[in-house]
Amino acid sequence: MSFSTEWLALREPFDRAAREGSALDLLPLTEGRPGSSSNNDGGDALTPYRVLDLGCGTGANLRALAPRLGGTQRWHLVDHDARLLAALPRVMTEWATTHRLKMPTPTSADSLLCIEGPQQQWRVELSWQRADLVHELDTLPFDGCDLVSAAALLDLVSASWLAALLTKAHEVRAALLFALTVDGRIDWQPVVAGDTQVTQLFTAHQLRDKGFGGPALGVNAVPRAVERLVALGYRCVQAGSDWELAPDSGARLLQQMIDGLADAALEQDPAARDLVLGWRLRRLALAAHSKLRVGHAELLALPLASEK
Ligand SMILES: C[S@@+](CC[C@H](N)C(=O)[O-])C[C@H]1O[C@@H](n2cnc3c(N)ncnc32)[C@H](O)[C@@H]1O
């Protein structure tokens, strides 16, 4: 399944706002870590916190998380899409420029970029790799990893791939953070005829195979991940991270959501053509006065303290 740089750039501010507004507490990840934002003890700030980010796109997850994690971090980003990885250095540089972040020369030979936060509150060295998460999962650098993360990926994957990933993370006692997984809630204000049916078709479409070797977990992804993580001995914490779209700030994304929902619904049930096209016209006519909430969840899984 492929995603354009334009789509990822369009959703990034809404993803970031949703995550910043989320009640998910990241403190357990940083607590006690030398040089982290929650520990100003002047400890060995050079010990990097290692993150493996899966399905990285152009690196939005790093941009959302690195400032919150604080301290010295080393990220390795993985995606199978060469176009997204080619855009990654430009998008990172634009982000650094916009936020007046420094980009010093990396100290590690393995790193391709380095970005430093204000007053050296955090520093990230990053590298990236083109790899297929399905066929090359076993080759990825899990060893020494503190955190395995993925944003907007978990709902695409199959149950068998998820099981394989969780086993890999568990083997190295890494924490896991899955951001922005859809949970099935799509709430329009005001409602129009066809909302329920189109949402049902869209939700069914999300369960189709997305290239991870079986039906995608879609809205069942977080409950399924929690079930397996608990069985592996992880402590799981969940919180909402909903998109809140309104015409003033989110007009383009609202429009794309209307088209995206309609396209998926039509593909799911071509016989529902009249219903879906009628719904799309009603929704577009009302777009300038509509609000949309799209339910997402954050899931943090922590290995038992005694295990790490
Ligand atoms: C919805 S996008 C999320 C991108 C990014 N994490 C973000 O939050 O902007 C899903 C990402 O997973 C990647 N992806 C999907 N299937 C993949 C696979 N089999 N191997 C590697 N990456 C994959 C896509 O290329 C895309 O970048």
Compute the radius of gyration of the chain from its Cα atoms: 20
Q: Can you give the residue ranges of every domain in the chain?
A: 5-184+216-244+297-303
pLDDT tier for residue 37 given thresholds of 50, 70 and 90:
low
Pocket test for ligand 1, best of 76, 79, 137, 158 (most atoms within 8 A of CB): 79
- Separation of 122 CA from ligand 1 center, angstroms? 25
Instruction: Please report where in the chains the tokens 């604080």 appear, as a residue.
Output: 70
Find the mean pLDDT for residues 264-268: 98
Q: Is 130 in the pocket of ligand 1 (CB under 6 A)?
A: no
- Separation of 86 CA from ligand 1 center, angstroms? 14
CA dist 122 and 106 (Å) reads: 14
Select the more confidently predicted residue: 302 or 40.
302
Q: Is 299 in the pocket of ligand 1 (CB under 6 A)?
A: no
Q: Is 258 in the pocket of ligand 1 (CB under 6 A)?
A: no
Q: Is 136 in the pocket of ligand 1 (CB under 6 A)?
A: no
Q: Name, in order, each residue with C-beta under 8 angstroms of 113's C-beta and a sequence gap of 6 or more.
A: 89, 92, 103, 106, 125, 126
Question: What is the C-alpha end-to-end distance of the chain, expressed in Å?
Answer: 35
Give the ligand 1 atom nearest the CA of 12.
9
Find the mean pLDDT for residues 106-135: 95
Q: Which long-range contacts (CB under 8 A, 24 or more apart) does 92-97 make?
A: 92/58, 92/59, 92/62, 92/63, 92/126, 95/63
Chain-centre distance for alpha carbon 57: 9
Atom 13 of ligand 1, residue of closest alpha carbon: 55
- Separation of 81 CA from ligand 1 center, angstroms? 8
Q: What is the pLDDT of residues 182-237, one digit of tens each?
A: 999 999 999 999 999 999 999 999 999 999 999 999 999 999 999 999 999 999 99
Residue 129: the pLDDT is 97
Q: Is 10 in the pocket of ligand 1 (CB under 6 A)?
A: no
Q: Name, in order, each residue with C-beta under 8 angstroms of 181's C-beta and a sequence gap of 6 or more.
A: 152, 154, 155, 221, 222, 296, 297, 298, 299
Give the ligand 1 atom nearest the CA of 210.
16
Q: Is 134 in the pocket of ligand 1 (CB under 6 A)?
A: yes
Do the beta carbons of residue 50 and residue 77 sit within 8 Å?
Answer: no
Q: Which two tokens stand for residue 111?
A: 């790193």
Find the mean pLDDT for residues 65-93: 97
pLDDT > 90? residue 290 = yes
- Separation of 56 CA from ligand 1 center, angstroms? 6
Atom 24 of ligand 1, residue of closest alpha carbon: 55
Find the mean pLDDT for residues 146-167: 98
Residue 31: the pLDDT is 80
b/e per residue, 121-130, with b = 16+ CB within 10 A?
A: ebbbbbbbbe
What mean pLDDT value characterizes the chain?
A: 94
Find the mean pLDDT for residues 160-169: 98
Tell me what percent of the residues of the chain surpass a pLDDT of 90.
Answer: 88
Find the mean pLDDT for residues 176-185: 97
Q: Return the closest-CA partner of residue 64 out of 32, 24, 31, 34.
A: 24
Q: Is 1 in the pocket of ligand 1 (CB under 6 A)?
A: yes
Residue 38: the pLDDT is 56
- Separation of 224 CA from ligand 1 center, angstroms? 20
Q: What is the pLDDT of residues 82-97, one digit of tens each?
A: 999 999 999 999 999 9
Tell me what percent of the residues of the chain surpass a pLDDT of 70.
Answer: 94
Count of C-beta atoms within a 10 Å radius of residue 86? 12
Residue 41: the pLDDT is 46
Residue 78: the pLDDT is 98
Angle, CA 106 vertex, CA 101 and CA 111 arms, to 5° = 110
- Separation of 217 CA from ligand 1 center, angstroms? 15
**CATH superfamily placement of domain 5-184+216-244+297-303:** Vaccinia Virus protein VP39 (3.40.50.150)
Q: Is 36 in the pocket of ligand 1 (CB under 6 A)?
A: no
Find the mean pLDDT for residues 276-292: 97
Select the more confidently predicted residue: 52 or 107.
52
Q: Is 61 in the pocket of ligand 1 (CB under 6 A)?
A: yes
pLDDT > 80? residue 46 = no
| Predicted structure pTM score | 0.94
Residue 304: the pLDDT is 83
3-state secondary structure of 95: helix
pLDDT tier for residue 1 given thresholds of 50, 70 and 90:
confident
Atom 4 of ligand 1, residue of closest alpha carbon: 57
pLDDT > 60? residue 26 = yes
- Identify the burial level of 68 via C-beta atoms within 10 angstroms of its C-beta, where 0-12 means exposed, 13-18 middle and 19 or more buried: middle
